[in-house]
Amino acid sequence: MKKIFGLFFTFIILINNIVYADDIFTFDEMEEYPFSEVSTTSTNEPVTNSKNIVVIDRKTLSILYEKNPYDKVAMASTTKIMTCIIALEKVNLNDITTISKQAASVSGSTLGLIKDMKISINDLLYGLMLRSGNDCAVAIAEHISGSAENFSYLMNKKAMELNLKDTHFVTPHGLDDPNHYTTAYDLAILTNYALKNEKFKQIVSTKTCTISFNGYPRTISNTNELLGNVNGVYGVKTGFTFEAGRCLVSSCKRGDLDIIVVVLGADTKKIRTKDSSNLINYIFNTYNYVDVSSTINEAFSSYISYFNQNYYLEKTTTIPHLKLKEIENYEFPLSNNNAITLDTKIYTINKFNPNISKGSKIGTLYLYNGNNLLCSVDIIIENELIKNDWKYYFKNILKEFN
């Protein structure tokens, strides 16, 4: 009976570790996915099996592929993208922190930190993002905010700043909690923000590195299976819990096109790898940047001809002059698989008075490719409208008597 109880107890411990492990020694990870089987030339939209997916273009934030991108779901260790960027913005990377009992005893995937161990924030961040150390996450949170609970306040504050409306954080590591969730789309926007930080980009693009582990060197490797195996991939983060399934956030750049692929809720590591790889290759085989500046400018010029004959003035005789507000980018990724049919719609006011100040937005130009909105451009008034004075009205009265 003692042997049976011992085996049962060991089984329970193993199951507990499997539930919370982040891509380290779990059932479907013993065999690497055969990348040679992934098509690198197909221009057909791939069939995907993960539950929640989005692909965005980093330059324009255009959605290039989506599958349930706005569902609120568990995010597992992709949580650590937020943990990492907050640490990079809040603390000195050379700071040394002492590992607490809470950090050393956290469940799931860990770097193997021990109570009272001293380690730099820089090394903790590599342990966090390469080995997905839950212990690193708690240690970072405690160093910055005193506790993991207090750190979640910073996480949610940053989420609000980034307008991640369907995201809420409870922990710095992402172990399952009903109040800890995001969407594929929010996660893509967060990742795009984080990648603007050069140190973050350096960390997540690192395949292997050596850190100082309790005073001794230790080499660690990245859990991201695409890194070094798929052309152009330079990050970002893996994740797994039973609630979240297999998760992978990838960034990939080939030529001018730079994308983020978020795959959540895959049943196995092979599925998340195949979905991510096939989507990456599909996007780069299918999409090219198209300059839309001439379409926008021609549409606006045509509108001005119409506008000059159809505006109305109240309490002013100043002729309004309109212009398009400059936008950051006039190139958008468009698919070669579908006919490119650019179309514009323009909405403006047509009555003007001196209360409308110079530089005010008075309308919008919308650019579509088929039914997909590519961008909107504000139309502003570039001159001041002078209010009619008493002389103007006096002259009009005199005209009535002539």
DSSP 384: P
Give CA–CA dist 401/354, Å, rounded.
Answer: 28
**Which tokens in the block code for residue 282?**
């599909």
Would you state the pLDDT for residue 18?
A: 42
Would you state the pLDDT for residue 30?
A: 35
Spell out, as residue ranges, where the chain has pLDDT lower than 70: 1-42, 390-396, 398-402
Q: By C-alpha distance, which of 32, 59, 60, 44 is closest to 278?
A: 44
The residues with which 98 forms a beta bridge, in sequence order, are 118
The residues with which 245 forms a beta bridge, in sequence order, are 241
Strands 118-120 and 233-241: unpaired
Would you state the pLDDT for residue 19?
A: 41
CATH superfamily membership of 10-286: DD-peptidase/beta-lactamase superfamily (3.40.710.10)
Q: Are 341 and 316 in contact (CB under 8 A)?
A: no
Question: Radius of gyration (Cα) for the chain, nearest Å?
Answer: 28
pTM as predicted:
0.86
Would you state the pLDDT for residue 4?
A: 53
Whether a cis peptide bond, with omega within 30° of 0, leads into 292 is: no
Q: Are 247 and 294 in contact (CB under 8 A)?
A: no
Would you state the pLDDT for residue 163?
A: 98
Give CA–CA dist 402/391, Å, rounded.
Answer: 17
Q: By C-alpha distance, which of 155, 172, 136, 175 is closest to 17?
A: 175
Q: Are 303 and 296 in contact (CB under 8 A)?
A: no
Give CA–CA dist 366/343, Å, rounded.
Answer: 8
The b/e string for 279-317 (b: 16+ C-beta within 10 A; e otherwise) is bbbbbbebbebbebeebbeebbeebeeebeeeeeeeebe
**Which tokens in the block code for residue 11?**
């089984």
Q: Are 262 and 191 in contact (CB under 8 A)?
A: yes
Name the residue ranges covered by the structural domains of the chain.
10-286, 292-381
Would you state the pLDDT for residue 44?
A: 81
**Which tokens in the block code for residue 253?**
């750049």
DSSP 79: G
